[in-house]
Structure 1
Amino acid sequence: MLTAYCLKLKAKAMSLENTISEAIKTAMRAKDKVALDSLRAVKSQILLLKTEARGAEVSPEQEIAIVQRMIKQRKDSYEQFSAQGRNDLAEVEEAQMKIIEQFLPKQLSSEELEAEMKKIIADTGAESMKDLGKVMGVASKAFAGKSDGKSISEMAKKLLS
């Protein structure tokens, strides 16, 4: 139920904060505790960023970075809990991760990422691993929210070696 609602809200081009607020209301009505906890955590991080910026507007890139960081935290926690045999806690982290992932832009497949990375490598004139920093700088900005840094780095290394 929450997924369909999130997609409908994204179509209206709302800010992430407004989208999250609406999704919180939906989760409250549905009495979905896991979704509610996840969404409140995202909203609190956005509000924290706003207070640190002292009233400055939070950019969509910053909002996406928050969502990515929260997904990474959940993924790390999931792996730790699974390794320790705490499947009850791991399941909660996995459920939260799936809910938060709905607020990211569509992720690039490995084929799409490889094609785009080849274009960036050609545009920057990179020829070897020495040029990795140059390629990563451009790629990280180009793929913000569409792919994680680890995938970008691995693809760049693969194509430059």
Structure 2
Amino acid sequence: MLQENIDKEIKTAMLAKDNVRLRGLRAIKAAILLAKTEKGGSDTLTEDAEIKVLQRLAKQRKESAEIYKTQNREDLYQIEAEELEVIEGFLPKQLSREDVIAVVQDVISRTGATSVKDMGKVMGAANKELSGKADGKTISEVVKELLS
């Protein structure tokens, strides 16, 4: 279970006085606790739900880092980049663009999609198959490319 793993990692980071890692781990723990207490939440999260929480955190950090970079706020950019690195350490390995293309091509052939009009059908199946393995933006770009 992710939360138990995070708790152990927090203790290790505290003992090592690794403040950078500790900050990232605490962000993950807070997000997990928040997800558990949201409406309709239960005491335990499924592995898929945990991955979605981590993906949301990673996406937030990437977007913030980009904003800070464009505003020449290197200090804030560095914090976001460090936290992103810690969060990505708990995410499953992301597929390369070539692997995503291969999976999407398979989905297109199975669904019989022929044009951009079928994008919704392909996106639904591709998102299910690639859940946690690729981000939605990449999947969407590949689907558009292949259906155009």
Partners of 1:55 and 1:115 lie apart in 2 by: 36
Instruction: String of CA shifts for 1:109-152, please: whole Å, max 9, x gaps.
Output: 11111111111111111111010000101111111111000000
1:32 to 8, 14, 18: 18
Q: 1:55: Cα distance to partner?
A: 3.0
What's the TM-score once normalised by structure 2's chain length? 0.94
Q: Which residue of 2 aligns with 1:20?
A: 6
Q: Mean alpha-carbon deviation: is it higher for 147-156 or for 81-90?
A: 81-90
Q: Which residue of 2 aligns with 1:120?
A: 107
SS at the partner of 2:13? helix
Identity of aligned residues (%): 50
Partners of 1:149 and 1:115 lie apart in 2 by: 16
When the two chains are superposed, the root-mean-square deviation of aligned CA atoms in Å is 1.1
Q: 1:158: Cα distance to partner?
A: 0.6
- Deviating 4+ runs (over 6 angstroms): none
Instruction: String of CA shifts for 1:15-42, please: whole Å, max 9, x gaps.
Output: 1112211211121121111111111111
Matched, 1:67 2:67: no
1:131 to 115, 118, 135: 118
Q: Where does the alignment leave 5 or more consecutive residues of structure 1 unmatched?
A: 1-14
Q: 1:57: Cα distance to partner?
A: 2.8
Partners of 2:41 and 2:142 lie apart in 1 by: 38
Q: Report the AA paired with residue 74 of structure 2.
A: N
Partners of 1:89 and 1:56 lie apart in 2 by: 34
Q: 1:56: Cα distance to partner?
A: 4.6
Instruction: String of CA shifts for 1:27-84, please: whole Å, max 9, x gaps.
Output: 1121111111111111111111112245353111111111111111111111111111
In the alignment of these two chains, the number of paired residues is: 147
Q: Where does the alignment leave 5 or more consecutive residues of structure 2 unmatched?
A: none
What's the TM-score once normalised by structure 1's chain length? 0.87
Partners of 1:138 and 1:147 lie apart in 2 by: 13
1:147 to 125, 134, 146: 134
Q: Which residue of 2 aligns with 1:91?
A: 78
